[in-house]
Amino acid sequence: MTVQGYDSRLDRMFFPKSVAVVGASDVPAKWGNLVLTSILGWRYNGRVFPVNPKKDTILGLKSYPSLKDIPEPVDLAVFTIPAPLIPGGIRECAAKGIHAAVIISSGFREAGGEGIGLEQEILAAAREGGVLFIGPNTMGIASAHHSFECLPAPTAPGPGGLAVISQSGNLGLQLIKWIAHKQVGLAMYAGTGNETMLKTCDLMQYLGSRDEVKVISMYIEGIEDGRKFGEVARTVTRKKPVIALKAGRSQSGSRAAQSHTGSMAGSFATYSAMFRQSGIIQVMTPTDLINVSAAAAHLPIPRSNRVGIMTMGGGWGIIAADECEDSGLELPPLPEYVIGELDSCLPQYWNRRNPVDVVGENDAALYLKVIGALARWNEVDSVIALGIVGRSRYVEDFIAAQVQLDSKLYSKELKLAVLKDQVQNEERIISGVAALQKETGKPIVVVGLNEGGLRLADTSNGRVVYLSTPEEAVSILAHLSWYGRYLEESS
């Protein structure tokens, strides 16, 4: 099956004007209550119809005994009823003229026994009735630009360019939570479940055709048709980055994947080769999946693996250089004209190497001059800036220590003024980095003196990505530069 010919039904699935929740409930913690609450709890402005023959109203809405009793057209049916009732529900969809469905219910192929036959029955009923469904055994879908969240927990991520496909409901929900918390910006989310009808590659092809989707992020346990998946991926990756985390690289993980959704994990090396050939950026951890996906959505793609580094101190520069070498990134030696440019602003004893050590200076204009020299240097296509933000926390701790020794050293007004000055200094640095990034078209990744992992800073010149460790920055640029070279070679 391909997405071609199914676009209108996928649009109804992710951008429905009206939704029926079959199995809706007013009992907290029941799936029919969780999903209905999530749909109603966001800003979704479409029509919502609870379906439950035992209730007249649910969560303040009129409840209907069955789909056929709903007096208005319905774009999407969401099922949370027991598995044996799903085949009848799909037939009701067809009779009602509902051509898209999300089957949350479990108890199918992943459960074995009668569940295998039930899964084939719903597939046959859907094909006969012209119903396109996702699942079963899925935690749901979401479309942030439509304010539609059909999930068991409200996450309310802001709209953005990152789309997520996940073959694990729990991990998918966690990824959306991270996206919301870090304000990355979500386009769409699809939990594929057992993939009885809609496959990962169908969704990848659909998301690849949507203008609001800038990057596709995937968690994969197994793929049925690797050849078809690779063909779709080669088409999509020429238009936008696709990042994949393939689980089950160990024997234990592979067995766990098969018992989870019934998927065949296959050889990890085979998947890795297919990803490389089709232009998919492969990552190994959920943290890298979020970091690389967020960076791909907000940074220019580097054209090569050559990197320039500026560091506040020697130690971080050494660590970053080690990580670059391990990750396949190159650090070209500084040319004489760049050395001459930096000689005019750095102390006489600076190291005159890449990484450039600014030997602890605390000067926003100096940082931006060094970063600018590296970014404009035509022998590098990305820049890492280490330690240029995050000092405000250190300043705050220093003031607190001094006040503890002598409470008269800092008035409340002086303390606020010092902290405000430091924060504004860092804002000037971030704004300047964004301007250089926009001017040169090269990614500039910032590593701060603070904890917390990935952060995104908004400026008038776009977003700046900054992280907590050199290895996170190197990992992002290594993955993005691989993709940049793939695009160059396949053009």
DSSP 77: E
Cα 46 from chain centre: 26
Q: At what angle do helices 200-209 and 7-14 cross, to 10 degrees?
A: 90
pLDDT (0 to 100) of residue 419 = 67
DSSP, collapsed to helix, strand or coil, labels residue 60 as coil
User: Tokens for 444?
Assistant: 């500039």
User: Tokens for 241?
Assistant: 């980055």
Helix and strand counts by DSSP (H, E) for the chain: 16, 20
Domains of the chain: 1-137 (3.40.50.720), 138-298 (3.40.50.261), 300-490 (3.40.50.261)
DSSP 270: H
Pairing type for strands 462-467 and 148-150 reads: unpaired
Q: Do 47 and 18 contact (CB within 8 A), yes or no?
A: yes
Q: Do 476 and 292 contact (CB within 8 A), yes or no?
A: yes
pLDDT (0 to 100) of residue 450 = 77
How confident is the prediction along the chain (491 residues), in pLDDT tens digits per residue?
444 445 789 999 999 999 999 999 999 989 999 999 999 998 899 999 999 999 999 999 999 999 999 999 999 999 999 999 999 999 999 999 999 999 999 999 988 899 999 999 999 999 999 999 999 999 999 999 999 999 998 888 999 999 999 999 999 999 999 999 999 999 999 999 999 999 999 999 999 999 999 999 999 999 989 999 999 999 999 999 999 999 977 555 455 555 444 444 468 899 999 999 999 999 999 999 999 999 999 999 999 999 999 998 889 999 999 999 999 999 999 999 999 999 999 999 999 999 999 987 778 899 999 999 999 999 999 999 998 887 666 666 667 776 676 676 667 676 666 666 767 888 899 999 999 999 999 999 999 887 788 999 999 999 999 999 999 999 999 999 999 999 999 98
User: What burial letters (b/e) apply to 229-258, b meaning 16+ CB within 10 Å?
Assistant: bbebbeebbeebbbbbbbbbeeeeebeebb
Reported as a single tens digit per residue, the pLDDT across 38-53 is: 999 988 999 999 999 9
Q: Token match 């002086």: residue?
A: 414
> E strand or H helix at 21, and its extent?
strand 18-22
Q: Token match 């209550």: residue?
A: 33
Instruction: Residue 393: count other Cβ atoms within 10 Å of its Cβ.
Output: 15
Cα 87 from chain centre: 34
pLDDT (0 to 100) of residue 265 = 47
pLDDT (0 to 100) of residue 410 = 66
Reported as a single tens digit per residue, the pLDDT across 91-121 is: 999 999 999 999 999 999 988 899 999 999 9
pLDDT (0 to 100) of residue 251 = 56
pLDDT (0 to 100) of residue 260 = 45
Q: State whether the Cα torsion 228-232-237-240 is positive or negative.
A: negative
Q: Do 433 and 364 contact (CB within 8 A), yes or no?
A: no
Q: Return phi, psi of residue 153, to 5°.
A: -150, 135
User: Tokens for 152?
Assistant: 């068991």
Q: Do 102 and 133 contact (CB within 8 A), yes or no?
A: yes
